[in-house]
Amino acid sequence: MKLISSSEISRTSIFRVTFDRAIDPDGFEIKRAIVQHNGSAVMLPIDDRGRILLVRQYRLPARQYLWELPAGRIDEGETPLGAARRELAEETGLRAKKWQKLAVFYPSPGFLAEKMTIFVASGLTSGDATPMEDERIESRWFTSRELDEWIRKGKIRDGKTMIGFLRWKRYGASK
């Protein structure tokens, strides 16, 4: 596929929307409105007891509170790991000595150009959280068994949390 045109339709502080056209060598054309996003860093914090930290916050698009792995947008010029370090500290007050990449995926590639990178964060030390002014974050430690059960029962509805936990449980982190 070759991109033949892209025009901006809308812009916000978090993302922009473009209308893109692409064509393949046989002349097949795709036209799409695409949400352009810098990407997100997701953290799976594991303490020295093997527990996993989740955060709970109200998600306006979902119209409900969700338990999920801490995550945040990658700022312009920032690496996924740099964003992960910053976001973990901001949302939870935690800092990690060890970081391992766990997974990279596209949450909804039909219309969203966001790539999420999940990291396992360990060797944790505590500090003060500094969430953004529009964030009200609650956090809780879960055992692997508890989190597995919550996913099985449908209590976890956040995709990045299911992908991160189940990938970690099945395959561990990459080297």
- The answer on 46 and 26 residing in a single domain is no
For residue 50, what is the DSSP state?
Answer: S
Active site residue: 29, 133, 138, 146, which one? 133
Instruction: Let me know: does 95 contact 43? Beta carbons within 8 Å.
Output: no
Tell me the whole-structure pTM to 2 decimals. 0.91
Residue 13 sits in the same domain as residue 97: no
What is the C-alpha separation between 31 and 29, in angstroms, rounded?
Answer: 7
Number of domains in the chain: 2
Residue with tokens 């979902």: 62
Q: Are residues 86 and 16 in the same domain?
A: no
Tell me: the pLDDT tens digits for 20-38? 999 999 999 999 999 999 9
pLDDT digits (tens, 9 = 90+) for 100-132: 999 999 999 999 999 999 999 999 998 876 766
CB 30 within 8 A of CB 22: yes
Residues 106 and 149 in one domain: yes
Residues 6+ apart with CB under 8 A from 101: 81, 117, 118, 119, 173, 174
Range of the domain at 23: 2-36
The band of 137, judged by pLDDT with boundaries at 50, 70 and 90, is confident
Q: Domain with 156 in it: what CATH number? A: 3.90.79.10
Q: Does the annotation count 133 as an active-site position? A: yes
Question: What is residue 132's predicted lDDT score, i.e. its pLDDT?
Answer: 61
- Give yes or no: residues 78 and 125 share one domain: yes
Residues 8 and 65 in one domain: no
